[in-house]
Amino acid sequence: MSLGKRGDERQGEFWTPTQNLTGGPGHVFYDKLNRVLAQAGFDKFVEELCEPYYEQTGRRSIPPGVYFRMLSIGYLEGLDSQRGIAWRCEDSLSLRRFLGIPLSEDTPDHSSLTRIRDRLPLEVHEQVFRYILQMIDEHGLLKGQTVAVDSTLLEANAAMKAIVRQDSGEDWQAYLKRLMQAEGLIKEEEEPTEEELRRFDKQRAKQGKKKVSNEDWASPTDPSARIVKLKDGRTHLGYKAEHVVDLESEVILSATVHHGTDSDTSTLLPNLVNAQTNLILAGSTEEIEEVVADKGYHSNETITECDRFGIRTYIPEPQSKHLRRWTDKPEEVERAVVNNRRRLSRDKGQALQKQRSEKVERSFAHVCETGGARRTWLAGLEKINKRYLIHTAARNLGILMLKVFGIGKPRCLQAGLAGVLALCAVLKGLLDRLQRFGRWSVTTQIFRIENRSTQRPSNPPPIFQPRQCRIIQFSTGC
């Protein structure tokens, strides 16, 4: 066989037969996922669902099944932006096969995904989310009697440096300049330098005068974003994503994005109603009977409303230095709060809290961290909800694939093989150490018998210490 050399320039062929184009070997996960979607009639369902929002004449659009598959690829491949999804689909032969797009055709551009998202309303995305729940229910995995609720912060596609005043429209530097003029530090026609503005801003922060509220400030690029204070004291523009998770199957029953300033107590009951609605419309006969949440969701009104709906709550009570007073409250409120306190003090309540902290946080890790949904590259609450719903629906599909085929993501095979190889390396190192330690013990016994002495060797080998090997683990504990 002679050596082949790569030429500097190569003349392209004018005609290429279709049968000569390679189709790629495909990916095991995506092939099985396509099989599951085909058995459920997913493409036919979404085409009938989206047909009223298209014209009867004109150029053929991108099939709705391709659109929803590309959004699910964002979760499965850990891509946060539509540009990244479009580039990945154009580059991968296995994803082309998953989408059903041959090499002779171009994959959809990121702008096409934007147009389809703007064309289809939020109700269509909600029905697709419920259809995935229906597929899970047909496999007997949907329970929904005991659910857990929690929320996390999503970073908005906006910066704090770009916020403006809602009354005057001036930015932060113009606002500082006006304050300096009001205090007489500079004249009206004088322009302060950036260093003087920073020094004046730090001075106001030390004096406790630097405050930014959502009533006075807003982002010009994303007016729906809210200024949120983080646990470490910093402020960011963001949203609040809230999950209602089935504790038995870990399926997300409801995923809603709210304004970042909406309190947990005000969104708990609407999300529970939404989760129960999704269960009913998905064809499930299960009813939500118990809800588990952290102490941020505790309030007299929330627990009382849940008690009226027949839902038992397991919500810890915030610590207080004073005793609760019930003389000025109805008896119904006292009974609901006391019953919640008693349920939480039992072993079942403590066990449910442990499951909540494990399984709900795992859903956030899958969707937001490894799934790429922590940063929202869209502006507007409705657009973010559309993208986030399909993202969480893809996570539910991953749970279905995990239960049916044993793999929940396409990269699980790669990580699983690396974990097995690392485990084999650790076991081999331990066996080598144990063999060395055993040979040293036998030699020591012979030495003691010959010398009839109980003294240990002058220079014994070092005590067995297992070598620290780095084991590859999944970041989400799965």
- 227-249 pLDDT, tens digit each: 998 888 888 999 999 999 999 99
pLDDT band at 325 (very low <50, low <70, confident <90, very high): confident
- 7-46 pLDDT, tens digit each: 555 555 556 665 656 666 678 899 999 999 999 999 999 9
For position 13, what pLDDT does the model report?
A: 58
Handedness of CA 285, 289, 291, 292 (dihedral sign): negative
For position 188, what pLDDT does the model report?
A: 80
Mean pLDDT of 133-149: 92
The segment with the largest mean pLDDT, out of 158-172, 295-309, 320-334, 452-466, is 295-309
CA dihedral 215, 217, 223, 224 (to 10 degrees): -50
Q: How far is CA 116 from CA 45, 110, 127, 390, in A?
A: 17, 10, 16, 14
Distance from chain centroid for Cα 414: 21
Alpha-helical regions (H) of 229-364: 264-281, 300-308, 331-345, 347-364
> What is the three-class DSSP state of 256?
strand
The answer on pLDDT for 166 being more than 80 is yes
For position 470, what pLDDT does the model report?
A: 46
For position 230, what pLDDT does the model report?
A: 87
Yes or no: say if 130 and 65 are a contact pair by the CB < 8 Å rule: no
For position 278, what pLDDT does the model report?
A: 95
Token pair listed for 92: 């991968």
Looking at per-residue pLDDT, the higher value among 351 and 426 belongs to 351
The pLDDT > 90 percentage for the chain reads: 56
The answer on pLDDT for 86 being more than 80 is yes
The pLDDT > 70 percentage for the chain reads: 83
Tokens 């003691």 sit on residue: 448
pLDDT band at 270 (very low <50, low <70, confident <90, very high): very high
Q: How far is CA 79 from CA 75, 367, 369, 391, in A?
A: 6, 11, 10, 11
Helix (H), strand (E) counts: the chain: 15, 8
Strand partners, 240: 153, 258
For position 354, what pLDDT does the model report?
A: 94
For position 190, what pLDDT does the model report?
A: 83
For position 19, what pLDDT does the model report?
A: 62
What is the identity of the amino acid at 462?
Answer: P
For position 143, what pLDDT does the model report?
A: 86
Pairwise CA distance, residues 133 & 138, whole Å: 9
Spell 396-412 as b/e; 16+ CB within 10 A means b.
bbbbbbbbeeebbbbeb
Tokens 């990945």 sit on residue: 88
CA atoms within 13 A on the CB side of 76: 29
Using alpha carbons only, give the angle 187, 189, 190 rounded to the nearest 5 degrees.
65
Mean pLDDT of 295-304: 93
Pairwise CA distance, residues 90 & 111, whole Å: 14
- 392-442 pLDDT, tens digit each: 999 999 999 998 888 888 876 554 555 566 667 777 777 777 776 665 554
The segment with the largest mean pLDDT, out of 189-193, 358-362, 430-434, is 358-362
Q: How far is CA 349 from CA 151, 219, 312, 356, in A?
A: 20, 42, 11, 11
Pairwise CA distance, residues 300 & 292, whole Å: 16
